[in-house]
Chain A
Amino acid sequence: MGVGMQFTSTDYLLVLPMTLLTLFAIGILLIDLMLEQEQKWANAVTAFIGLLFSAKAVYNIQQWLGSRPASYGLMQTVLVDHVTLYFFYLFLAATAITILMSVRYLEIEHESHGEYYALLLLSVVGMMCMAAGADVVLIFIGLELMAISTYVLVGFLRRDRRSNEAALKYFLLGAFSSGIFAYGLSLFYGLTGSTNLATIHTALRQVLGGPYEPIAVIALLTTVTGLLFKIAAVPFHQWAPDAYEGAPTSITGFMSVAVKAAGWAMLLRVLILSPFRLGGLVAMRSIWLPVLIVVAISTMTGANLAALTQTNTKRLLAYSSIAHVGYILLGLVAGSATELNADGIKGILIYLLVYTFMNLGAFGVITSLRHRNVIGDELDDLNGLYSRAPVEAVLMLVFVLSLAGIPPLAGFYGKYFIFLGLVETHYYRLAAIAVLYSVFGLYYYLKIANAMFMRQPERGEERLPVSYAMRAALGVTAFATLFIGIMPNRFIEAANWALGIANNPNTAKLIR
């Protein structure tokens, strides 16, 4: 420590994915100035190349780490382990698919600006800081970088009142929750004298049971409130349906998968730090675990009930995405019930992976319905979709059935591991409630299917033109949804790798 400190090549390597994305984001802002209005698609290409470079950098870190589980960097503020790399790949994949979905959509909305792609990349930088942070300062700054970029993206259709309104609501509640989160972090700093999650963990053990324990409880409650706001768990979810409905549809998809996965990465970091090095607030598990159980049950109840009455597809999927948060929270309950239950945490990782593809796919179909004069986000706009656009209708069916958790689609395995984790940790009642709610959820998912296949189209509409980029996005998400469902082994092995669990030779037989 001290003045003579120098960065080593390790430090640069570990933050290379973020650095590259930042450079590309700045590059897009500069190149954008030189492009004519009809050449704006070039920004999307630049952003895509940036993502590829960043993915290569992540791969380099993976190679460099080899069999070592984790490495610290930048004066212990960055902790890159396999879970971090897993999240990095997830963010990059989700953003790549979002970019494919966005190009034509922005042209239709007449809002094709380079800033859109620059902000997307910058928000990914923020997400990576959240997933890699081992220091609350870095995690907080990453959170804010992601959140501020997303506020602007939600309000990107600046002539559309609904988009303005969504951005305003998202901003006010997002900034409010960040403030509460930061207050909790400041109290933890005061109690422990450190902003490093590993040091906070060791120092907290001495605080607990001492005279300052009530302050630690206040700090925990404010911090967890901030975290739950970010992942949109009931009762801190009110911003989500509004923001999801008003945002540009491509951004709704992005928020529901990438921003949410980043929120989860942050939640895991703050609460348990890393499966290789327990830290953060894990010492206070006995306090936050019951809170999480209550929040998980109320999230599943609230979101599933509210979803029943929705008439807007985006809003319906917003409530569905809140309901999924409830299931994933149960994964964390199972994962932290004993010292660390691998199946629960593995359930979270696999759930987030499959959720990325199936939910982005569903939003992709809705985005593709947007064409001249038709917004396409009301449930009635889906009426008779099968006769107008059979391919999209079938894909949408695949996505919603997967969201409902029907085997052999990908969504089934997300739920499978979480329920398995719950049973293993003897939360039988919670598992039963979760299964009940996922059956319940089938009703509103089938409402979408019903509109597409059973109802007649209201007007004889022309067939919808779909861009090649959108076809690629839908193709990738549909392929992944089917492929993970039918051949889950590779993905389960990826999650095992992330958690450092040796691959069981019986994996293929037991899917464990």
Chain B
Amino acid sequence: MEAMLHITTLHYLVLGAALFLLGVIGVLTRRNVVIVLMSIELILNAVNLNLVAFSRYWQGIHGSTALHGQVFAIFIITDAAAEAAVGLGILIAFFRNKETVNVDEVNLLKW
């Protein structure tokens, strides 16, 4: 019973992979730009989960100073914040001129 309740690195990875896939499916299928943005955040959070889980795993092998993964995760969190800020800024500029957030109506440029 004890062993069954134990959460291993693999569990985190499966969760991470699931989040990643949800994010990719969201980007490819959803039509609302805000939800597409949220899906991209989901992908980045899947990456963070992976990194932290792996960092924990490698700490068990290389000792507690093996923190690369957690450092990388902090950088990705920062990056996600910057990206969201710029993305929403672009979306607002777009919305002002066009009054829509539907990707299907982002259609001025095509061949």
Contact = CB atoms under 8 A, between A and B. Distances in A.
A175 interface: yes
8 contacts: A151-B87, A152-B90, A164-B97, A167-B94, A179-B43, A186-B51, A193-B66, A193-B68
Contact of B97 (A136, A148, A161, A189): A161
Q: Could you say which interface size class chain A belongs to? A: 35 or more
Contacts of B76: 140, 182
A167 B27 CA distance: 17
A449 B23 CA distance: 46
B87 A175 contact: yes
B62 A193 contact: yes
A456 interface: no
Nearest to B78: A141
Interface string A278-314: 0000000000000000000000000000100110000
Contact of B69 (A2, A178, A189): A189
Contacts of B62: 193
Interface in B16-57: 16, 20, 23-24, 27, 33, 36-37, 40, 43-44, 46-47, 50-51, 53-54, 57
A343 interface: no
Nearest to A179: B43
B90 A193 contact: no
A164 B50 contact: no
Interface of B: 13, 16, 20, 23-24, 27, 33, 36-37, 40, 43-44, 46-47, 50-51, 53-54, 57-58, 61-62, 65-66, 68-69, 71-72, 75-76, 79, 82-83, 86-87, 89-91, 93-94, 97-98, 103, 106, 108-111
Given A1-B65, A151-B90, A176-B27, A190 B109 contact: no
Contact of A176 (B40, B65, B82, B110): B40
B69 A164 contact: no
Contacts of B65: 1-2
B20 A183 contact: yes
Contacts of B20: 183
A193 B61 contact: yes
Secondary structure of the A contact surface, majority rule: helix
A169 interface: yes
A386 interface: no
Contact of B108 (A2, A162, A180): A162
Interface in A302-343: 306, 309-310, 315
Contact of A164 (B57, B86, B98): B98
Given A190-B57, A241-B111, A246-B109, A182 B83 contact: no
A134 to B, nearest CB: 13
Contacts of B108: 161-162, 165, 246
A165 B94 contact: yes
Contact of B106 (A152, A169, A245, A310): A169
Nearest to A3: B65
A42 interface: no
Contacts of A2: 65
Contact of B50 (A168, A190, A310): A190
Contacts of A137: 68, 71-72, 75
A144 B54 contact: no
Contacts of A159: 97
Contacts of A433: none
A379 interface: no
Contact of A183 (B46, B86, B109): B46
Contacts of B75: 137, 140-141
Interface string A171-185: 110011011101101
A136 B47 CA distance: 14
Contacts of A136: 72
Given A152-B86, A159-B97, A169 B72 contact: no
B33 A168 contact: yes
A242 interface: yes
Given A182-B44, A183-B20, A315 B71 contact: no
Nearest to B69: A189
Nearest to A199: B68
A347 B34 CA distance: 43
B90 A164 contact: yes
B54, B86, B93 pick with most chain A CB within 10 angstroms: B93
A195 interface: yes
Nearest to A2: B65
Nearest to A244: B109
A205 interface: no
A212 to B, nearest CB: 11
Contacts of A411: none
A394 interface: no
A104 B76 CA distance: 38
Nearest to B88: A171
B50 A187 contact: yes
B53, B71, B103, B108 pick with most chain A CB within 10 angstroms: B108
A143 to B, nearest CB: 9
Given A141-B79, A164-B98, A195 B93 contact: no
Q: 3 shortest A-B CB distances, which residue pairs?
A: A179-B43, A190-B54, A186-B50
